Structures are given as structure tokens and as C-alpha cells.
């Protein structure tokens, strides 16, 4: 499928979602607690690959004196985020930025906290660690979620699927070694639960599919995208013990 077509369909499918990847408010708060930041401080924060703002909105509520830059490739997601921020009364502390996370126009050493849920994979994990690090001040903290094998021996079917979709998939031990090699110290790590995938992400996405199908009734690319979604969810249901 043509990339522009795929992007426009993906944006249309996901714009109405509260989140565009696995995770939950509880996961965001758990990661924030692990980060050890002073939650009352005047923190400078960026949420990169923010989508419609799942993490940025939780951070804005939890960090009352923080200023948050929410960056994403797609202005359509940022428009939704801005509406949600206004409804939550935090719009004055969130600014949006339609830029790729590997070319952020942010000053070096400027961030206390850099957040990215379900998104750093878009520029590659190792590459992302490298290009994002200069934005962090000394002692600044990065929080990311990343696709990870939970065991070193995944069945061939799921290994082949993810290695074709995302060859950087690896175990947590390997990911942590990559982090340390890129100059980060590990503060904490946890695994997203099946509920964070199914109840918070795949389930709500599936509920939007009938309306999406109707909006794109004569477009074979939409059927193709739905088939891709269905396959990914079916694989997750079968092999959820092997990755998160
Ligand atoms: N963090 C959100 C969205 C995750 S989905 C959440 O957890 O709900 C991944 C997001 O990354 C999408 O919103 C997509 O538009 C964005 N994205 C993809 N490539 C990007 C890039 N190069 N730079 C910034 N954002 C990107």
C-alpha cells in the first residue's frame, strides 16, 4: 500500500482513540513513580510520539508545575490532544509540536523528563536513545515502552511475525544492555499487562472498526489495514505470554 494512503487511514482509524498503543493511566503513573522525579517541580517535559495525548494528559495532571511539549508527526492527533487538554484544564501547560521525534527543535540539555509510550520504535530503539539523549539535561530521565520478548525462546510463528515487522525486538535484558551502552542508567523496568494491550488499546480500536469500514467502504486499502489489525490482535491473544 502507498505510504500516504496507509498514514491517512491510520490517522482516521486512530484519531478517535484515547490511546494509539498499549498502556494505561496506571502504567504511566507507575513509570513516573519509578522515574523518581520531584512531582511538584517546575519540570520541563516532552512526550514524543504522543498521539492524542494518553501520556501527556496524565503527566499534566500529575505534575502540576510541569510544562509539557507534546510532539507527533500528525497534526490531526495534536488537534485532538489540544481539545482534550482544554477539556482537562491543562491546555496552558501543554504545547504541541508537529515534528518527527528524530528532528525535534528543542534546545540541548533542556529536558528533565522525556516520555515516549509505544512510539520510539518508529525511529528504532537504539537510534532513538541516541538522538533523544542530547535533549536531556544531566540527570534527566527517559521513560519509554518498547516491544520486548518476555522469554528468550518465542515460538517460530510469532518470532517470524515480529522479526519481519520490527527486527529490533529483543528481550528486556538485551534492551537494558542497549540502554546502558547508550549512556543511560536503568532506574526501573516493568512489563505492560495483557489488560494494557486488550482493554486499553486493541479492544477500543476494534470497537471503532465498523464505523471506519463504513467511512472507507470502497477502499481496498482499508480492508487491508483491518486485516493487518485483526492479524496482530489474533497473534497477541495467542502469544501474549511471549512478548509485551
Ligand atoms: N504515545 C501514544 C501514541 C502511540 S502510537 C500512546 O501511547 O497512545 C505511535 C505514535 O507515534 C503515533 O501517534 C504516530 O503518529 C507517532 N509517530 C510515528 N512516527 C513518528 C516520528 N517519526 N516522530 C514523532 N511521532 C511519530
* CA separation for the pair 60, 63 (Å, rounded): 5
Q: Report the separation in Å between the CA atom of 50 and the middle of ligand 1, taken as the mean of its atom positions.
A: 6
CB 75 within 8 A of CB 48: no
16 C-alpha to ligand 1 centroid (Å):
14
User: Grid coordinates representing 66?
Assistant: 510541569
C-alpha cell at 227: 486485516
Q: How far apart are CA 208 and CA 233, in angstroms?
A: 14
Return the number of other C-beta atoms located less than 10 Å from residue 47's C-beta.
32
Consecutive sets of 10 residues in the chain, 244 residues long: mean pLDDT of each? Answer: 93 97 98 97 98 98 98 98 98 98 96 98 98 97 98 96 98 98 97 98 97 96 96 98 98
pTM above 0.85, yes or no: yes
Other Cβ atoms within 10 Å of 212 Cβ, number: 18
Residue-level pLDDT at 243: 98
Rounded to the nearest whole angstrom, what is the distance from the C-alpha of residue 20 to the centroid of ligand 1? 8
Per-residue pLDDT at 136: 98
Q: What is the spatial distance between Cα 200 and Cα 207, in angstroms, rounded to a whole number?
A: 12
Q: How far is the CA of 53 from the centre of ligand 1 (A)?
A: 10
Nearest atom (ligand 1) to Cα of 22: 7
3-class DSSP assignment, residue 86: helix
Distance, in Å, from the CA atom of 162 to the CA atom of 166, rounded to the nearest integer, reads: 5
Atom of ligand 1 nearest to the CA of 119: 9
State which ligand 1 atom lies nearest to the alpha carbon of 23: 7
- The string of pLDDT tens digits covering residues 39-65 is 999 999 999 999 999 999 999 999 999
Query: What is the percent of the chain where pLDDT is above 90?
Result: 99
Q: Whose CA is nearest to atom 17 of ligand 1?
A: 49
pLDDT at 1: 84
Q: What separation in Å is there between the alpha carbon of 77 and the centre of ligand 1?
A: 9
CB environment 49-61: b (16+ within 10 A), e (fewer): bbbbbbbbbbbbe
Cβ atoms within 10 A of the Cβ of 175, count?
Answer: 22
Name which of 178, 50, 197 is nearest 116 in CA terms. 50
Q: List residues near ligand 1 (CB under 6 A).
A: 19-21, 23, 48-51, 54-55, 71-74, 77, 100-101, 117-119, 122-123
- Cα–ligand 1 centroid distance for 119 (angstroms): 5
Atom of ligand 1 minimally distant from the CA of 17: 8
Amino acid at each position: 500500500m502507498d505510504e500516504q494512503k496507509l498514514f491517512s487511514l491510520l490517522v482516521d482509524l486512530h484519531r478517535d482513540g484515547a490511546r494509539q498503543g498499549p498502556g494505561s493511566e496506571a502504567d504511566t503513573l507507575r513509570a513516573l513513580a519509578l522515574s523518581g522525579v520531584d512531582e511538584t517541580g517546575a519540570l520541563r517535559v516532552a512526550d514524543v510520539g504522543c498521539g492524542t495525548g494518553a501520556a501527556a494528559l496524565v503527566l499534566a495532571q500529575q505534575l502540576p508545575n510541569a510544562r509539557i511539549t507534546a510532539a507527533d508527526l500528525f497534526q490531526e492527533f495534536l488537534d485532538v490532544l489540544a481539545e482534550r487538554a482544554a477539556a482537562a484544564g491543562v491546555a496552558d501547560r501543554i504545547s504541541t509540536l508537529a515534528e518527527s521525534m528524530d528532528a525535534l527543535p528543542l534546545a540541548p540539555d533542556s529536558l528533565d523528563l522525556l516520555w515516549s509510550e509505544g512510539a520510539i520504535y518508529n525511529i528504532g530503539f537504539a537510534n532513538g536513545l541516541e538522538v533523544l539523549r542530547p535533549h536531556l539535561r544531566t540527570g534527566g530521565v527517559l521513560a519509554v515502552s518498547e516491544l520486548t520478548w518476555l522469554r528468550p525462546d518465542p515460538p517460530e510463528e510469532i518470532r517470524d511475525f515480529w522479526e519481519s515487522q520490527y527486527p529490533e525486538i529483543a528481550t528486556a535484558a538485551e534492551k537494558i544492555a542497549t540502554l546502558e551502552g547508550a549512556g543511560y542508567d536503568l532506574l526501573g523496568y516493568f512489563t505492560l499487562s495483557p489488560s494494557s494491550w486488550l482493554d486499553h488499546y486493541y479492544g477500543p480500536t476494534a470497537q471503532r472498526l465498523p464505523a471506519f469500514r463504513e467511512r472507507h467502504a470502497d477502499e481496498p486499502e482499508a480492508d487491508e489495514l483491518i486485516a493487518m489489525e485483526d492479524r496482530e490482535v489474533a497473534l497477541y491473544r495467542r502469544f501474549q505470554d511471549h512478548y509485551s
